[in-house]
Chain A
Amino acid sequence: MAPSKRSISICFFIAATLLLTPWPGAAATPLEIFYSNDVSGQTEPCG
């Protein structure tokens, strides 16, 4: 029936628009944060 097909098309259109359009200001590449909480002067395992 015509309305259902149309509804599906519109639904897909909205979903695709929302999902695929890049958001303004979004970072192009993810930020990689390397973090540590190191060891009070200890540089290497004891042995």
Chain B
Amino acid sequence: MGGLSKKATLLQELAPPAAALKIDAGTLFFDDAFTGQPERLAQALITAGALVEAYNHMGYDTVALGHHDLAAGEAALKSLAAQADFPFLSANLADMEGSLLFEPVAHVERAGMRITLIGLTGGPQTAAFAGWAKILPWQEVLPPLLARHSAASDLIILLSNLPASDNRAIAEKMADIHLIIQSGSSKQNMRPQLINNTLISQVGHDGKYQGQLTVEWPASRRWQAQERPILALQKEYDRLGWMLDKIAKKGGAEVVYKENKAAYQAFQQKEERHRQLAAEIAKMATADKKEHPPAATYTNHFHPLHPSLADDVTISKLLQRARKKANQVQRAGAAPNRDSQYLGSRACGSCHEAIYLAWDKTPHATAYQTLVAQDQNHNPNCVYCHVTGLAEENAHLGAALPESLQGVGCEACHGPGRNHRATAGLVPLPLKPAPSLCTSCHSAERDDNFNYQLDKGKVHGP
């Protein structure tokens, strides 16, 4: 599930151009540093360029920068920004002298509204970051920005890479920020939460869902209605009206209170009060409308980017080009890994033939080929789950693996077999690996249908 080509199709189906705002909260381009991994950096830049091209095609309005996005360095990030038809936003990412490196805000008009977008980068505040940038604290940068832009904005949206606790603090202190789109580490979608006058929402970070907020935003610029004095009068008016109607249904006050003069007088007082209330309410209605317009309303959807969604042809093509290019970079830079303790499943099969032959018919045996078919076999984000003997942190070395380790072989679960074979089995290998080994790849976000108890038996064949 997921993918940019499906996201593009969904957006095309759902987004009315005049009223749609397309924003990304950040940490779009990179996830880790690339120190000592030039091929991986080159590959990540190719992918990041394709992401910018795809976002251009989808008509994105802006993307905020997370601190991971700084991983390729200032020049690379500025070069990506120059390729983008939309601004990269960060109101608190500064050079070492304190000058902002990117635009702090963007202004757009949609659905008849003036919308101000602000980006905030998360990360280690005030400390030098990545040697060329520092993150300024939000407490310092937000107040002057709001003072400058609040009056001329109908709606202010913050795209925040800060931790959730900071976003809550912003919501508590700054009612002029009406919506925070949070870019967090959570893989889960987070339903909108209202804090003070700020709605906070977050779509899970694994790219499987697209968030959509439909907002009716009134002149009150408030998500919740304020207290309205007219409502108290209306309540009293309705209560009295109900009592008067009840008497009327019984034949009228003259009949009901024929024998009780005091009660009749009390009824007349209620009638008088009812008339007074009607007049007061009518008088207050105009002012009430002006001073207490209704609150905003919203609906929120997390649309799954389901495999059944068609792939956008343009995006598919540009991503395919980028994948091929990135694959070539990794392949060219790969050095053979000669010191592996892993032998490959065929070596295991020389003693454990029946198990080997059964395994050879399972999807694990051809796991690498599925990546080849998708031009993803040199994608470090993918490869370590489709081969044997490669930890996630060494995923960039995937291209160096020999053919015998391509696929999820015996040693992926039981550990490297070199000593085991050299000692004719005297050095034992673990027979039953921990479930966490399976779920490190068959995680919920990667494999929706995995069930450890049901699926563990399939490893050695049908």
CA distance A7 to B244 in the complex (A): 9
Mark each residue of chain B from 427 to 459: 1 if its CB lies under 8 Å from any CB of chain A, else 0: 000000000000000000010000000000000
Q: Is B214 an interface residue (CB 8 A)?
A: yes
Mark interface residues in B177-204 (1 if CB within 8 Å of A CB, else 0): 0010111100000000000000001111
> Once the chains bind, are A29 and B112 in contact (CB under 8 Å)?
yes
Interface hits, A1-45 → B, CB 8 Å = 1, 3-4, 7-8, 10-11, 14, 17-18, 21, 23-45
Which residues from A are CB-within-8-Å of B374? 44, 46-47
Assembly CA distance A4 to B240 (angstroms): 10
Q: What separation, in Å, do the CA atoms of A14 and B281 have in the docked complex?
A: 8
Most B-side CB within 10 Å, residue of A32, A38, A45: A38
Question: Cβ of A37 and Cβ of B182 under 8 Å apart?
Answer: yes
| Chain A residues within an 8 Å CB radius of B293 | 23-26
Given A23-B289, A31-B217, A37-B205, 10 other A-B residues pairs in contact with their CB atoms under 8 A: A4-B248, A25-B293, A29-B18, A30-B215, A31-B110, A32-B212, A35-B25, A36-B211, A37-B182, A38-B205
A46–B382 touching, CB < 8 Å: yes
A-B contact pairs, 11 of them (CB 8 A): A1-B248, A18-B285, A32-B21, A32-B213, A33-B20, A35-B210, A35-B212, A37-B205, A42-B207, A44-B376, A47-B373
Using A14-B282, A36-B207 as known contacts, say yes or no to A41 and B31 having CB atoms under 8 A apart: yes
Residues of A within 8 A of B182 (CB): 37
Work out how many contacts link A and B, with CB atoms closer than 8 A.
212
Q: Could you tell me the dominant secondary structure of chain A's interface residues?
A: loop
Q: Which residues of B pack against A, CB within 8 Å?
A: 1-5, 7, 11, 14-16, 18-31, 44, 47-48, 50-51, 54, 68, 110-113, 115, 154-155, 157, 179, 181-184, 201-207, 210-220, 234, 237-238, 240-241, 244-245, 247-248, 252-253, 271, 274-275, 278, 281-282, 285, 288-290, 293-294, 319, 322-323, 370-371, 373-374, 376, 379, 381-382, 385-386, 446
